[in-house]
A and B are shown apart, each in its own frame.
Chain A
Amino acid sequence: MQQFPLFGDVADVRERLAGVGYLADDAIATTVFLADRLGKPLLVEGPAGTGKTELAKAVAAAVSAELVRLQCYEGLDEARALYEWNYKKQLLRIQASGGDTSWDETHDDIFSEEFLLSRPLLTAIRRSEPTVLLIDETDKADVEVEGLLLEVLSDFQVTIPELGTIVADRRPFVVLTSNATRELSEALKRRCLYLYLDYPGAEREKAIVLARVPELPEELVEQLVRTVRALRAMELKKAPSLAESIDWAHTLLALGLNTLDEEAVRTTLGVVLKHASDQARAASQLKLS
């Protein structure tokens, strides 16, 4: 398996991610660079809406690689993650031949490329062009899937009994994301580089919102970020994250509001806080009524 580094150095990561609209800080840029150079999968954890999935997409866009995505859910199995034989087509093939051919021929025929349904993991391994493999919400999958991931991600090879072992020509850049609804196994964590994406600092948040919604005046963004940070400091069920800040900025733009006063916050609070109890609490603490 050959190694083709995607990035030159940490500054290069930063620049190219910025080029596709993802503002990375030192920690993000360094970790992405290391994941590329050490050829290790990158495990990204953090609260919802801090840009975990976005990071994978940005890396793919920055190096013009294709993004192969495996969305995890409860009950995800090998057949959905790795590969599956298209048994309906195989059945048709056997019936169509009408018993003229011998078993050996049929056998060789129905277990060939044509009848293989390739799922995201196998697809990513077989590609010869640059690939970013995104395994999204890994914590939602069952524990057995982790075992499968361990096997695939440590050697980047898959054994299909009927076809033999398939080895990756080119190691994909792997990003796993998790919301930490459960603790991932130590074994999986050990094989990955770990990046925790928390709510960004005030300055970085401002820069990100400005980059995403450039039409908004800077003072308004400053005000918005400060208000969001005040909300985060309250004890809420779900604190607003970066995604909510950006949504809020879009909302203000769409409504043509040019200042964030009590009235504006009261009417648009639903964009940032998604629980009735959180809204009530924020309204009373910000003295909105």
Chain B
Amino acid sequence: MSLLDRTVEFAGALRSAGIPVSTAETVDAMRAFGKIDISQREHLRAAFAATACKRPAHRTTFDTLFDLYFPPKLGDGVGQEMDGAPGEGEGDGEQTSADLAAISAAMRDQLRDLMLDGDEDAIRRFARNAVSSLGRTDSPAGRQSFFAYRVLRALSPETLIASLLAAMMGEQERGGMAEKVARQTIADRMKVFEEAVESEIRRRLAETKGVESVTRSAVKPLTDQVDFLRASRNDLIELRRQVQPLARRLATRLTAKRRLGRTGKLDFRRTVRASLATGGVPLETKHKPHKPHKPELVVFCDVSGSVSSFAHFTLMLTHALREQFSKVRAFAFIDTCDEVTDYLRSVDIGDAMARIAQNADLVWFDGHSDYGHAFEVFAERYPDAITPKTSLLVLGDARNNHRSAATPTVRRLVKEARHSYWLNPEPRSYWGSGDSATKVYEPLFDEMVECRNVEQLAEFVQRLLPT
């Protein structure tokens, strides 16, 4: 297959993974290939990335797909990488379990040395060899298959940590900073190894099953499209890292929009001052900037297990944007509610959620969401929270465990507020199913918004902030 065909196929795969690659960019990529030595794989990757992948959020997906479409080698690749690794090229013969045990023991030692040394290229090379000697199963139909868990089980890299730690720290004292730093270094290297194994497995699978079928399972959703309710722990960490940059982007866009809007009253003093440069003729008038209207925000959020990650993220975002509001008050609830504004003010917002869960008075009866009771308590305890200037923001899935909805109270609260929105992290199609009280609440609010991922949340926040 020619480079051109492969490139076009690759561009197609990028597009179906959600990375917009225009035809012009594909042409640019081909022109770039003409200028470089395409036998150098990393140069090829850099050239493609420079011309076709122009957003950092897309880079991981890009790299995964690049490894599939432009694999570093074919088959076992024997003869290209002879570095005397045990198990090299032995995959052809029948492997007895004793052989396998001997190989994996030898490879474990080698892995330990590599981890200590920290040469990432060597670790990646080793991972590729490990997959061909340990990760293979021969299915009855004579087709080979490869599994990451077989490699990781045979080598069990996590059991190496203790010995690596001992070797790395030497005489230093345990339990302090040195250990933390050493652990992080080991974790980094482990990650390199595990990712290399996974990438090699994908490559081998792509060879037997075809690239397209592997592509579909290999590509993870982009960070701003990860579903709040399905996010893994790593996803959540990645999401939290996005809060500050996202808040900054939203704020910048807002100031830009405000500046483009109407200008304020004539600033007489500055106009006269500027006219001195043009011999007293006021060529340009100067205006006072408009004072932007800043709404008050009351956030009322469900922090029960199922939706807490969504609430956490949204609270962090509103906190990061607090300069855009004249006042932000936050209330958390499970089946009763408590004010948590002070927790958000603390220095470290990352810990705020844990402290809210520990200290705030959120559980009244059994610790299952009770929207009705929470609204009642809120109205009774904080009658001054909602004023005619307030935008009320309710965060939650409205899964009320078939309890009373307290409709009259909610109606009154909504009426007192200037605007009222409900952000629901569930897909719209689930609304109203089972114990969801969505159908009761939706008509009361100005709007109930589906807010499943960062993209939708950012879109909503932009609408919320007036220009």
Residues of A at under 8 Å CB distance from B?
9-10, 26-27, 29-31, 33-35, 37-38, 40, 43, 45-46, 74, 87-88, 91, 139, 142-143, 180-183, 189-190, 192-196, 198, 201-203, 223, 226-227, 229-230, 233, 235, 237, 261-262, 265, 276-277, 280-281, 285-288
Contacts and interface: CB of A to CB of B under 8 A. Distances in A.
26 contacts: A10-B40, A26-B46, A30-B46, A31-B47, A31-B49, A31-B50, A34-B51, A38-B32, A38-B35, A40-B28, A91-B278, A142-B259, A183-B249, A194-B49, A196-B49, A223-B181, A226-B182, A226-B184, A227-B181, A230-B185, A233-B187, A235-B237, A261-B178, A265-B177, A277-B348, A281-B350
B42 interface: yes
Contacts of A181: 248-249, 252
A235 B240 contact: yes
Contacts of B54: 43, 189-190, 192, 194
Contacts of B51: 34, 193-194
Nearest to B188: A229
Contacts of B188: 202, 229, 233
B15 interface: no
Contacts of B244: 237
Contacts of B348: 277, 280-281
A276 B178 CA distance: 23
Q: Which of A9, A230, A261, A277 has the most chain B CB within a 10 Å cutoff?
A: A230
A230 B180 contact: yes
B347 interface: yes
A143 B24 CA distance: 23
Interface residues of B, number: 53
A40 B176 CA distance: 50
B20 to A, nearest CB: 8
B249 A30 contact: no
Contacts of A276: 347
A281 B349 CA distance: 11
B145 to A, nearest CB: 32
B72 interface: no
B244 to A, nearest CB: 6
B305 interface: no
A176 to B, nearest CB: 12
B120 A195 contact: no
B312 to A, nearest CB: 12
Contact of A31 (B46, B118, B241, B277): B46
Q: Which of B31, B47, B118, B175 has the most chain A CB within a 10 Å cutoff?
A: B47
B350 A235 contact: yes
A46 B188 CA distance: 21
B256 A143 contact: yes
Contacts of A10: 36-37, 40, 43
B248 A190 contact: no
A265 B177 CA distance: 9
A286 B180 contact: yes
A91 B347 CA distance: 57
A34 B50 contact: yes
Contacts of B277: 88
Q: Which of B24, B32, B245 has the most chain A CB within a 10 Å cutoff?
A: B32
Given A10-B40, A91-B279, A45 B32 contact: no
Interface string B266-300: 00000000000111000000000000000000000
Contacts of B240: 235
Contacts of B24: 190
A230 B49 contact: no
Contact of A285 (B25, B180, B253, B278): B180
Contacts of A26: 40, 42-43, 46
B241 A235 contact: yes
B22 interface: yes
A223 B119 CA distance: 16
Contacts of B40: 10, 26
Interface in B22-81: 22, 24-25, 28, 31-32, 35-37, 40, 42-43, 45-47, 49-51, 53-54, 56, 59
